[in-house]
Amino acid sequence: MTDPKASKDNSYTQILVTTGFFVPFTRLFAAVDSYANISKMTTLVQGDNIDFQFQHATHVKVVNDIRERMLAAEVVIAHGAMTLVEALEIGAHLVAVPRQHKYNEHINDHQVYFAKWLSKQYGFPVVLDIKDLPEAIRQAKQNKPQVYKSKAQPLKDFLSAKLALWDTARKAVRE
């Protein structure tokens, strides 16, 4: 179900899923929608290019108050890069589900490598096999979030530069 007002209200979201604006992420969407049905947890999915029809989770293209929603959510499910860093900065209970090249979700596996690297330092679950998502959510709810502060700005600058390069390369391939 799509709710264009969801980005404007202050309703409580138990699970916040943020997937950015790249390519469809149907593997994650189907798992999240199924989990929302089974768990009965209020679930908000942010993302563009979504061709999935949600039955149990609410979908929006943009969440204007993303940081506030991350703080309020019981669990944040994020795909990679800046969203993982932002969730760590605010101490969110985090699950990473990086896009994978083998599923044609991205041009390479940089999100997998980055999520695993951050996970080793900050102890959040990384889901590579989508059937592991329910257990990862359970783990995230039990974990004490570790707040990422000391190197946030240099890392953000590094990632922004890398993302700009990847975006340029992606556009060049499409042309």
- Domain borders along the chain are 15-148
* Per-residue model confidence (pLDDT) at position 166: 74
Please choose, from the candidates 72, 171, 78, 175, the residue with its C-alpha nearest in 3D space to the C-alpha of residue 124.
Answer: 78
* CA pair distance 87, 81, nearest whole angstrom: 10
* Per-residue model confidence (pLDDT) at position 74: 95
Q: Within a 10 A sphere around the Cβ of 117, how many other Cβ atoms?
A: 12
According to DSSP, the residues that pair with 15 across neighbouring strands are 43, 75
* CA pair distance 78, 46, nearest whole angstrom: 10
State which of 6-10, 34-38, 103-107, 144-148 shows the largest mean pLDDT.
Answer: 34-38
* CA pair distance 73, 127, nearest whole angstrom: 19
Pick the CATH number of 15-148 from 3.30.2270.10, 3.40.50.920, 3.40.50.2000, 3.90.660.20: 3.40.50.2000
Of the pLDDT bands very low, low, confident and very high (cuts 50, 70, 90), residue 168 is: confident
Q: Is the pLDDT of residue 9 over 70?
A: no
Of the pLDDT bands very low, low, confident and very high (cuts 50, 70, 90), residue 3 is: very low
Which 3-state string (H, E, C) describes the chain?
CECCCCCCCCCCCCEEEECCCCCCCHHHHHHHHHHHHHHCCCEEEECCCCCCCCCCCEEECCCCCHHHHHHHCCEEEECCHHHHHHHHHCCCCEEECCCCHHHCCCCCCHHHHHHHHHHHHHCCCECCCHHHHHHHHHHHHHCCCCCCCCCHHHHHHHHHHHHHHHHHHHHHHHC
